[in-house]
Amino acid sequence: MKLSIRPANPAEDFPEILEVINAANPNFPMTLERLQHEEASRDLNFYFAGFVAVVDGVICGLASVFEDPFAHRAGKLNLQLRVHPESWDSRIGSSLFEHVLNHIKPRNAEVLQSGAGEDWTRAIRFYEDRNFSETWRRTESRLETANFDFAPYHHLETQIKTAETEIKTFSELDSDPDRDAKLYELDWALWQDIPFGEEISRPSFETWQKEMILDPMFEPDGCLIAVKNNEFIGYTSFIKNPSGFLIVGMTGVRRQSRGIGLATLLKLRGIRYAQSLGNFEIRTFNDAPNTAMLEMNRKLGFVRFPGWIRFERKL
């Protein structure tokens, strides 16, 4: 086996990189269009370096190390490392990891952060063997939508109308020239109440647009916005995975508008939307301390699946 590690070349390497990504995590397949969009949307104000491991001319692994624009803090770098399952016993992951450590030495970083699925036993052992410690968990929940029983929730529609609130899709609000700006402000307000485990960084409006509504997987008819007196007071959104399921991007309601069942109604409208696509499964991730949302999901019939572990290593 002849292994070499070199910088990634997106224009040429993406088809092979995509194959490694999807083989390593088949439960959440990526598309070439989405991969290209992420590359085109990357904020060049933040450090990023990508590498591929090549064996006999074939890309078998990849690693990227970068400053996280979403949760940036001085001295922290993030690591993403994937190896094709067919090469798991070839020490490719170890070689990529050592290559990254050598590459970032001049940056004098203090912390390296990474993550793995709760059921990725090999990856968890890999990080633990390299002195990473668990710092946070996110829970995954899934809902089969085909036979969902809406009967217990019929009163919510009347309750919300009484509160002079409408729920409209992102597409239906196209005539509002301030739609995107209002959704941007709402999204940031809702993030203030999410127990993410790290201080988050506010993206620019343009970056937010690229990452959310210009995402090729974004569902404009599945982005459901609660409107009262022309103000956006809550919303839920989806991205559509090519494998036939929806991933929740956000569900939340402004503090002053809570307590009337609006978040639940947004969830229910989302389930209706999933059914309209052919009874798509809905998947969502919530931080472990977010007990209110986890309980709401449980009552709606969401089932827990292995989630995500955040790891950190001091450098």
Residue the block writes with tokens 């890309």:
59
Q: How confident is residue 163, by pLDDT bands cut at 50, 70 and 90? A: confident
**Res. 270: pLDDT tops 90:** yes
- Please state the rounded mean pLDDT for residues 253-280: 96
pLDDT in the model for residue 161: 83
Pairing of β 111-117 and β 76-83: parallel
Collect all residues with Cβ–Cβ distance below 8 Å to 161 and sequence separation of at least 6. none
pLDDT in the model for residue 1: 81
Q: What letter does residue 134 receive in the DSSP assignment?
A: E
Between CA 14 and CA 96 the distance in angstroms is: 18
Query: Which alpha helices (DSSP H) does 149-277 contain, by range?
Result: 154-162, 179-191, 205-211, 262-276
pLDDT tens-digit map of 20-52:
999 999 999 999 999 999 999 999 999 999 999
CATH, domain range 3-109: 3.40.630.30
Cα dihedral 230→233→234→240 (10° resolution): 40
pLDDT tens-digit map of 1-25:
899 999 999 999 999 999 999 999 9
- In 3D, which of 216, 239, 236 has the Cα closest to residue 225? 236
pLDDT tens-digit map of 180-192:
999 999 999 999 9
Counting other chains too, the contacts that 22-31 makes at CB distance below 8 Å and 24 or more residues apart are: 23/84, 23/85, 23/86, 24/82, 24/83, 24/84, 24/85, 25/82, 25/117, 28/241, 28/247, 29/241, 29/242, 29/243, 31/216, 31/217, 31/242
pLDDT tens-digit map of 96-142:
999 999 999 999 999 999 999 999 999 999 999 999 999 999 999 99
Asked if 3-109 and 141-307 have one fold, the answer is yes
Collect all residues with Cβ–Cβ distance below 8 Å to 216 and sequence separation of at least 6. 31, 33, 34, 37
Query: Which alpha helices (DSSP H) does the chain contain, by range?
Result: 10-24, 32-41, 92-104, 121-129, 154-162, 179-191, 205-211, 262-276, 291-300
**Res. 282: pLDDT tops 90:** yes
pLDDT tens-digit map of 169-223:
999 999 999 999 999 999 999 999 999 999 999 999 999 999 999 999 999 999 9
In this structure, are residues 199 and 73 in contact, taking their beta carbons and an 8 Å threshold? yes
Would you tell me the crossing angle of helices 262-276 and 154-162 to the nearest 10 degrees?
120
- Please state the rounded mean pLDDT for residues 247-258: 96
pLDDT in the model for residue 108: 95
pLDDT in the model for residue 16: 98
Domain 141-307 has CATH 3.50.50.60: no
Number of alpha carbons in the 13 Å side-chain half-sphere of residue 114? 23
Q: How confident is residue 226, by pLDDT bands cut at 50, 70 and 90? A: very high
**Res. 224: pLDDT tops 90:** yes
Q: Where are the domains of the chain?
A: 3-109, 141-307
- Please state the rounded mean pLDDT for residues 230-243: 97
